[in-house]
Amino acid sequence: MNGIAIHTAELTKRFGDLVAVESLTLDVRRGEVFGLLGPNGSGKTTTIRMLTGLLAPTSGVITVAGIDAVRDPEAVRRRIGYMSQRFGLYDDLTVQENFRFYAGVYGLRGAERDARERELFARLGLEPRRRQLVGALSGGWKQKLSLACATSHRPDLVFLDEPTAGVDPAARQQFWAIIRELAREGMTILVTTHYMDEAVRCDRLAFLSRGHLIGLGTPDEVTRAFGKSSVEEVFVALQEQDEGARA
């Protein structure tokens, strides 16, 4: 398990009669960029909430960064970073104030926090915007600040839930270059996205449909397994399948 960042076995979550995730068995390797894909209602968000310790599973095993996430979800939350499509930033605070707030939540203070702030602000180009109110930032800058906040404590792995939704293409390109840098440095990245041009940048993909894992592998392996010519065609086929099942 030394090379595994996330391990699940027979992971299941029920909400009454609704089975949101069923018997999910999955390994995410350390240092890889792993894409979790599927149409709306496929179980992605429920899976991420369980992996991050925010939601207890009905049954099954979850190990994140070597920690039993079912028994000790708080320990998991200290070892990970999380970034959602809504960014989770405070518009009436400055860039620096937002960063320092989240760094404090993760336990960084004083000289250690200041050093990490200088490092990340320089890396992400945030230094000139340090005193700017977040409410005045574009989506691309909010995205960079949110990533800085989520990685302030140098987590073992980062969960990025639709992180580029509503962001312009140029900002998305820059963001993915940063993701790749983090992965090269050993950080594990789990990302959900509806942009298939981003999905093909992942090392491996897992496709969910109505709570079940139905595809796993590199982008090329997944497209071959489904008999399609692109990841986008696989995604569209799953959407149509799920819409037909609900009709």
Read off the pLDDT band of 246 (50, 70, 90): low
Q: What's the pLDDT tens digit per position in 97-112?
A: 999 999 999 999 999 9
Place of tokens 């993760």: 106
Residues 205-234 have a mean pLDDT of 94
Q: Please count the other Cβ atoms lying within 10 Å of the Cβ belonging to residue 136.
A: 11
Poorest-confidence range of 42-51, 127-136, 159-168?
159-168
Place of tokens 């037909």: 244
Q: Please count the other Cβ atoms lying within 10 Å of the Cβ belonging to residue 105.
A: 12
- CA 223 to each of CA 38, 128, 220: distance values in angstroms, whole numbers, following the listed order: 14, 43, 5
Q: What is the DSSP string of 156-174?
A: SEEEEESTTTT--HHHHHH
Q: How many Å apart are CA 227 and CA 247, to the nearest integer? A: 25
State percent of the chain over pLDDT 70: 96
Residue 177's contacts (CB-CB under 8 Å, 6 or more residues apart) are none
Poorest-confidence range of 11-15, 48-52, 172-176?
172-176
Q: What's the pLDDT tens digit per position in 34-77?
A: 999 988 889 999 999 999 999 999 999 999 999 999 999 999 98
Domain ranges within the chain, ordered by starting residue: 4-246
Please, what is the Cα angle at 60 between 56 and 61, to 5 degrees?
90
Residues 112-125 have a mean pLDDT of 96
Angle between helix axes 169-184 and 139-150 (nearest 10 degrees) is 20
- Answer yes or no: is pLDDT of 244 > 90: no
Q: How many Å apart are CA 225 and CA 220, to the nearest integer? A: 9
CATH 3.40.50.2300 fits 4-246, yes or no: no
Predicted local confidence at residue 46, as pLDDT: 94
